Amino acid sequence: MPDHGGEMPDNAIQVLTARMKEFADLPAIFWHDRTYTYDDLLTRIGEWRAVLDEKGLQDGAIVVVHADYSPAACALIFALAQTGAIQHLITPDNSSELDSQISESGADHIIRIDQNDDWTYDTLDTPTPPPLIRDFVAEKKAGLILFTSGSTGKAKGILHDMERVMDKFVIERKPWRTVLFLVFDHFGGFNTMLSVFAYGGMAVCLKDRSVEEVCRVIERTKADLLPTTPTFLNFLLGSKAVKTHDLSSIERISYGTEMMLESTLERLNAFFPNAAIVNTYGLSELGVLRTKSKSSDSPWVKIGGQGFETKIIDDVLWVRSHSRMVGYFNAPDQFDEDGWMCTGDRVEVDGEYVRFLGRRSDIINVGGQKVSAYEVEEVILRDPNVLEVSAHGVPNELLGEVIVAEISLKEPEDRAEVTKRLKALCKDNLSRLKVPARFKIVAAEDQHNLRFKKIRPVAS
């Protein structure tokens, strides 16, 4: 633990902000092609504290932060945590959900930060907060409100205790120059941002999440850590930008949020031979677990770490977490009486290691045979002109479901020729029922959501 002049901070929020003073002259944030030091960040935190005091945003205030990563936004996160406010994060890309989310959380203030890092403040006329949040307000603790992506239904509102969230960063670790690819209002992105500042690293902000921009900022900043998704890595490896930029500074690539195909992992290791490729795992409800991959070219990983317990029931992962959410405020609780949560993620076990097999919803039932969508996608991605693929089931009177493969191409090609070639490829490598009944060519941007997580239509 670092020396803070004899006065020991009494909670994780204070530990992290006090530690930043030791990094004063180090680069903290790269934003809009300019670098800001930790001293700059601490100055902005102080300025925000003055604003929050003036507006009366103290213990129990529920404040919407409508922003993306920037010096002002990062500083505001820490200032709100210090004052004991409950912050509700929403990015401008998610503005269509702004009114509905505010109505559900009961936020009474909003601070908007624009692309120039200028801000505005307004009060909100909203309904009374739900009981879970009202009870938490009474405890006068700093809180965090996030919404799940809602990919399988209505988005769930999650309340976290900020002290629990920050507690895992008290133990000092290696600093990284980290690309902030994972979005601001998602737990994985928030966790990544905290880890940067907790250890004296540099937060590398993006103007957008295009492959070209990611490659540009890596080359410009010599970033050494890229946390992202398997879907984005597919686009990265299939791009021209990856060949025209110097990405040799990358020492570590961490991936999560969805299953990694072994073919993508193989290509990734070939392109980044000197980088550690690490599978990360976490859920918005539980936090991000510590992981250790068996090797950079292996999908097998140890999961757990301090504050987490895991168990496997019927090949499905269950987790118990110290940093778990306080609860949902618009949905039923998903924890059992002992604090365990079923993640829904299927796994295979090999001693201390597990290999993720996807979620139950990724299984297609064709004529009574259970087919993994990933198994089909793995084969189709072998085609040199396929950039991305998503396999899913559609209803069929005879077989229950048949498989449709939506593909995006690197270069334009005649649809009939592509279909003929891919069908032959699948017949050579898959059993008859696993061969897609139809191949559909779609635009690359239709294959993923704003978080660069694969969109897989669900059979209805």
Instruction: Using a pLDDT cut of 90, give the percent of the chain over it.
Output: 60
Give pLDDT, residue 151: 47
Tokens 């200028």 sit on residue = 118
Could you read off the pLDDT of 205-245 as tens digits, one per residue?
Answer: 999 999 999 999 999 999 999 999 988 998 999 898 999 99
Burial class (CB in 10 A: 0-12, 13-18, 19+), 343: buried
Give pLDDT, residue 361: 72
Could you read off the pLDDT of 96-148 as tens digits, one per residue?
Answer: 889 999 999 999 999 999 999 999 999 999 888 999 999 999 988 999 999 98
- Cα 434 off chain centre by: 31
Would you say residue 149 has pLDDT above 80?
no
Query: Which residues are registered as beta bridge partners of 276?
Result: 252
Does residue 253 contact residue 276 with C-beta atoms inside 8 Å? Answer: yes
Longest dimension (CA), the chain: 75
* Whole-angstrom distance, CA of residue 81 vs CA of residue 11: 11
Under the banding of pLDDT at 50, 70 and 90, the label for residue 5 is: very low
Give pLDDT, residue 150: 52
Does residue 214 contact residue 187 with C-beta atoms inside 8 Å? Answer: no
Q: In what order do the strands lie in the sheet with 287-293?
A: 281-283, 287-293, 301-304, 353-359, 341-350, 316-321, 308-313
The 8-class DSSP code of residue 92 comes to: G
Which residue ranges form the domains of the chain, and what is each CATH number?
12-166 (3.40.50.980), 367-447 (3.30.300.30)
Q: Which residue has the higher pLDDT, 34 or 260?
A: 34
pTM of the full structure: 0.85
Instruction: Spell out the residues 6+ positions from residue 437 whose beta carbon is closer than 8 angstroms to its own.
Output: 396, 402, 403, 404
Which of 455, 460, 357, 359 lies closest to 406 in space, CA to CA?
455
Could you read off the pLDDT of 326-368 as tens digits, one per residue?
Answer: 999 999 988 999 999 998 888 889 888 888 887 777 788 887 7
* Whole-angstrom distance, CA of residue 13 vs CA of residue 5: 17
434: left (phi over 0), alpha (psi -120 to 50) or beta: alpha
Give pLDDT, residue 287: 86
Q: Give, to the nearest 10 degrees, the angle between helix 71-83 and helix 187-198.
A: 90
Under the banding of pLDDT at 50, 70 and 90, the label for residue 264 is: confident
Give me the phi and psi of 368, to 5 degrees please: 85, -5
Give pLDDT, residue 118: 97
Under the banding of pLDDT at 50, 70 and 90, the label for residue 6 is: very low
Average pLDDT score, the chain: 89
Would you say residue 4 has pLDDT above 60?
no
Under the banding of pLDDT at 50, 70 and 90, the label for residue 153 is: low
Give pLDDT, residue 458: 61
Q: Which residue has the higher pLDDT, 290 or 180?
A: 180
Does residue 14 contact residue 45 with C-beta atoms inside 8 Å? Answer: no
Positive or negative, the Cα torsion across 459, 346, 291, 376? negative
Q: Which residue has the higher pLDDT, 456 or 198?
A: 198
What average pLDDT does range 302-320 have in this prediction? 88
